[in-house]
């Protein structure tokens, strides 16, 4: 066995969004049958906690997590109570994933406060944990922060203790300040699907480690959840069609200034401003052309079905603590494709 192969592979998860409660329950059950280890539920037109509840009740072994729930759209008390219920419903299989979203959505779609998002999210995590301690009866609820204050918890409004550990809290972050904060207070990091292994090595891990050092924590205790975009198929032509779809997805993500650091890590300093200009001009063809094969191959994984697990293992062994097949559920258009993904999961276990 080679030294690389001696490093165990992480759990292989999938991600889903916007399916409704019955659809999410069916997807969760299918993911469990297919041999995936976890399911992450995003928040958009559907609520992440509702979807997580449907997944929790439809499965018995699958890790279920919000990936992510929009923190500032709801009080930490609501998030703490929902997470506590989901931890109980799953028997300890739930992970609370939180993120800030962007200012426009938080302020104009949710009518919530967004100022100082990093410090605000730190307090959010601290207050959720304080609320959990109050639920368990370990201490009176006395959280006093700049953004959140919680000082009332009567027995009638507490679900009481449960014989399970508190859920872990994973946070989404991209910029260095947020990564350092996650290194201080988070149990894990939700990496954005627009990333490269080089970005993980040169930006994400050093910033997490810097934050962990400030809190006297071991950075190895902070899990990296890494969604990866994949292009696969039976033939080269099918793989190429999927690659073209990924070019457009990368171009759309890359037009956002917040993700410029990923490109800059590779020396593509002009790519994000260029994508932003093309997006403003509604030049979708130009956006796709801007994502060259070099960019595409650095940020996504392409392989035929039979080689996909191996290609993922070659890139992410030792680099992720949970790997998420970001493209999987979106391609589940037929039982045959689900079976293909089940074989990828089986191949992944063999390689592990």
CATH placement of domain 3-234+321-351: 3.20.20.30
Residue appearing with tokens 């009638």: 156
pLDDT tens string, the chain, 352 residues long: the values are 444 557 999 999 999 987 899 999 999 999 999 999 999 999 988 999 999 999 999 999 999 999 999 999 999 999 999 999 999 999 999 999 999 998 999 999 999 999 999 999 999 999 999 999 999 999 999 999 999 999 999 999 999 999 999 999 999 998 899 999 999 999 999 999 999 999 999 999 999 999 999 999 999 999 999 999 999 999 999 999 999 999 999 999 999 888 899 999 999 999 999 999 999 999 999 999 999 999 999 999 999 999 999 999 999 999 999 999 998 888 887 888 999 999 999 999 999 8
- Give residue-wise pLDDT tens across range 255-271: 988 889 999 999 999 99
- Give residue-wise pLDDT tens across range 57-114: 999 999 999 999 999 999 999 999 999 999 999 999 999 999 999 899 999 999 999 9
Give first-to-last CA distance, the chain, whole Å. Answer: 12
Domain extent listing, the chain:
3-234+321-351, 235-302
Which residues contact residue 265 at a Cβ distance below 8 angstroms, ignoring those fewer than 6 apart? 196, 198, 199, 202, 203
Residue 143, SS3 per DSSP = strand
Q: pTM for the full model?
A: 0.94
């Amino acid at each position: 066995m080679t030294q690389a192969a001696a490093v165990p592979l992480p759990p292989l998860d999938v991600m889903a969004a916007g399916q409704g409660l019955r659809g999410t329950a069916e997807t969760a059950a299918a993911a469990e049958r297919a041999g995936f280890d976890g399911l992450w539920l995003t928040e958009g037109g559907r609520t992440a906690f509702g979807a997580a509840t449907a997944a929790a009740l439809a499965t018995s072994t699958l890790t279920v997590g919000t990936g992510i729930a929009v923190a500032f759209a709801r009080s930490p008390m609501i998030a703490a109570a929902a997470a506590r219920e989901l931890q109980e419903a799953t028997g300890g299989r739930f992970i609370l994933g939180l993120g800030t979203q962007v200012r426009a959505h938080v302020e104009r779609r949710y009518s919530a406060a967004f100022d100082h998002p990093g410090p605000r999210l730190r307090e959010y995590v601290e207050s959720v944990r304080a609320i959990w301690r109050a639920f368990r009866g370990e201490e009176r609820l006395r959280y006093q922060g700049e953004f959140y204050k919680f000082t009332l918890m009567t027995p009638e409004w507490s679900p009481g203790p449960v014989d399970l550990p508190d859920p872990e809290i994973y946070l989404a972050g991209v910029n260095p300040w947020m990564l350092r904060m996650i290194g201080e207070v988070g149990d894990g990091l939700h990496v954005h699907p627009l990333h490269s292994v080089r970005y993980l090595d040169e930006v994400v891990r050093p910033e997490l480690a810097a934050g962990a050092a400030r809190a006297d924590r071991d950075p190895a205790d902070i899990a990296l959840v890494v969604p990866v975009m994949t292009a696969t198929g039976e033939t080269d032509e099918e793989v190429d069609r999927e690659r073209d779809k990924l070019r457009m997805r990368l171009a759309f993500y890359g037009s956002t200034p917040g993700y410029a650091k990923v490109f800059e890590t590779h020396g593509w300093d002009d790519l994000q401003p260029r994508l932003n200009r093309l997006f403003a001009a509604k030049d979708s063809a130009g956006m796709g052309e801007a994502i060259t094969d070099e960019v595409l191959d650095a940020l996504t994984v392409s392989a035929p079905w039979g080689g996909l697990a191996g290609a993922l293992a070659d890139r992410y062994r030792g680099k992720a603590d949970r790997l998420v097949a970001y493209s999987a559920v979106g391609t589940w258009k037929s039982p045959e494709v689900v079976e293909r993904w089940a074989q990828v999961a089986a191949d992944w276990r063999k390689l592990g």
